[in-house]
Amino acid sequence: MQKTIAIVGAGLGGLTLARVLQVHGIAATIYESEASATTRAQGGLLDIHEETGQVALRAAGLYDEFLALVRPGEDAKRVVDRHGTVLFDRPADPGSARPEVDRGELRRLLIDSLAPGTIRWGHKLTSVRHRTEGSYDLTFAGGFAAHADTVIGADGVWSKVRPLLTSATPSYSGTCFVEIALTSGSRNHWASVAAIGSGTLMAVAPGKGIIVHRYADGHVRGYAALNRPEKWMRSIDFADSSAALRQVADEFDGWSPLLTVFVAQSESEPWLRPVHALPVGLEWDRVPGVTLVGDAAHLMSPFAGEGANLAMYDGADLAGELVERPGTEAALSAYEERLFPRSSDAAGRSARNLEVFFGREAPQSVVTLFDHSPHA
């Protein structure tokens, strides 16, 4: 009898894992806390890397469908100082090995590729218990319970599965993001929108930045980034959108109005996103029947552009091992042997790049990063 596989979390990593398994005739069930695929806006663009994310999509049999989602021309990058002076300007690359796609569209592609009933929406995991005979009992909010021989945590930052393997928890990096956007009002701020160029604008200085992306339809999304303590975050009432945006905009006093308009006139709910990370180089001892993928395994800041790519690659890599190896433990061991070094390398680069973006040498440090790295 085929062993049961429970995947906790319907993010990109968990979805890729389930899809590759299904391609090879292996069933898995995904348990997701959100009520449906449309409960929460996924937001933002992802550059999908040739050596990781694209490998995963090929393994999932979805590479051609992925190409149809690519947004040509939106991989341009521009770095400016707080006065709006352009310091670096890289045009779009039509032949980029890391094309941009919308995260929500990519997630929808993966969801739609799965057999009906694979995802159990509205199942928020509250506890997971290891039985003495080696399998697992999963309990969900509302009293629903399930049983699985193998449990894979793809449940992100505050993973409920991670404690089965390690006591490590995410820590606040010292940098927080506040989401900003110009949608219907973009036409009223044409000079600011034009200053972005055709892709992403990064206006950075020590301890702060305004990073926004211009979409093909003209609307703008991004975030204000600030190096601030947790006490500062608690001092702002983000439930009062107008007041919160004014307070965040005040942090950019003296900056060019072309830049501050993205904060002061933002039409988005100013969601606060503290940047958390797991320890660089995190590993754990093998625990029978359980492992992690994506942020649950190697949460890092977004400044290496690896999070989503590694999550998908993790999912495809783990699925490949479960397909090819005769025993689950051998598959999990082989997967983790590769997981640890690749995630350590990416997390290290991410931590260094966070300092590059908002450290004492910004914005020149960001210019240097892009000058020396064609894929930054």
CATH number of the CATH domain containing 189? 3.30.9.30
Sequence-distant (≥ 6) Cβ neighbours of residue 270 within 8 angstroms: 178, 179, 180, 238, 241, 244, 245, 248
User: Which of 49, 62, 58, 59 is CA-nearest to residue 111?
Assistant: 62
For residues 137 and 248, membership in a common domain is answered with no
Interstrand relation of 220-227 and 208-214 (parallel, antiparallel or unpaired): antiparallel
For residues 269 and 283, membership in a common domain is answered with no
For residues 135 and 33, membership in a common domain is answered with yes
DSSP assignment letter at 187:
G
Identify whether 115 is part of a domain: yes
Q: Give the pLDDT score at 206.
A: 97
For residues 258 and 299, membership in a common domain is answered with no
Summarised one tens digit per residue, pLDDT across range 141-178 is 999 999 999 999 999 999 999 999 999 999 999 999 99
Compute the distance between CA of residue 219 and CA of residue 180 in angstroms, rounded to an integer. 11
* Rg (the chain; Cα; Å): 21
Q: Give the pLDDT score at 304.
A: 84
Question: What is the mean predicted confidence (pLDDT) over 227-248?
Answer: 94
Compute the distance between CA of residue 198 and CA of residue 190 in angstroms, rounded to an integer. 13
Residue 61 has pLDDT above 70, yes or no: yes
Using an 8 Å Cβ cutoff, are 165 and 323 in contact? no
For residues 138 and 49, membership in a common domain is answered with yes
How many of the other CB atoms lie within 10 Å of CB of 349? 20
Residue 133 has pLDDT above 50, yes or no: yes
- Comparing 118-132, 136-150, 206-220, 276-290, the range with the smallest average pLDDT is 206-220
For residues 65 and 143, membership in a common domain is answered with yes
For residues 155 and 205, membership in a common domain is answered with no
Q: Give the pLDDT score at 45.
A: 86
Query: In degrees to the nearest 10, what's the CA dihedral of 229, 235, 241, 247?
Result: -70
For residues 165 and 43, membership in a common domain is answered with yes
pLDDT category, 3, cuts 50, 70, 90? confident
pLDDT category, 1, cuts 50, 70, 90? very low
For residues 50 and 157, membership in a common domain is answered with yes
User: Mean pLDDT across the chain, nearest whole number?
Assistant: 93
Compute the distance between CA of residue 132 and CA of residue 126 in angstroms, rounded to an integer. 20
pLDDT category, 248, cuts 50, 70, 90? very high
Identify whether 91 is part of a domain: no
Question: What is the mean predicted confidence (pLDDT) over 85-113?
Answer: 92
- Comparing 22-26, 91-95, 177-181, the range with the smallest average pLDDT is 91-95
User: Which of 273, 208, 204 is CA-nearest to residue 43?
Assistant: 273
Count of structural domains within the chain? 2
Residue 351 has pLDDT above 60, yes or no: yes
Q: How far is CA 185 from each of CA 32, 190, 244, rounded to the nearest angstrom?
A: 35, 9, 19
Identify whether 90 is part of a domain: no
For residues 34 and 132, membership in a common domain is answered with yes
DSSP lists the bridge partners of residue 179 as: 223
User: Which of 123, 165, 149 is CA-nearest to residue 296?
Assistant: 165
Query: Which residue has better confidence, 343 or 42?
Result: 343
Print the domain residue range for 108. 5-71+98-170+278-357
For 183, list phi and psi in degrees, rounded to 5.
-110, -95
Residue 290 has pLDDT above 50, yes or no: yes
The DSSP secondary structure of 123-138, one letter per residue, reads --EEEEEE-TTS-EEE
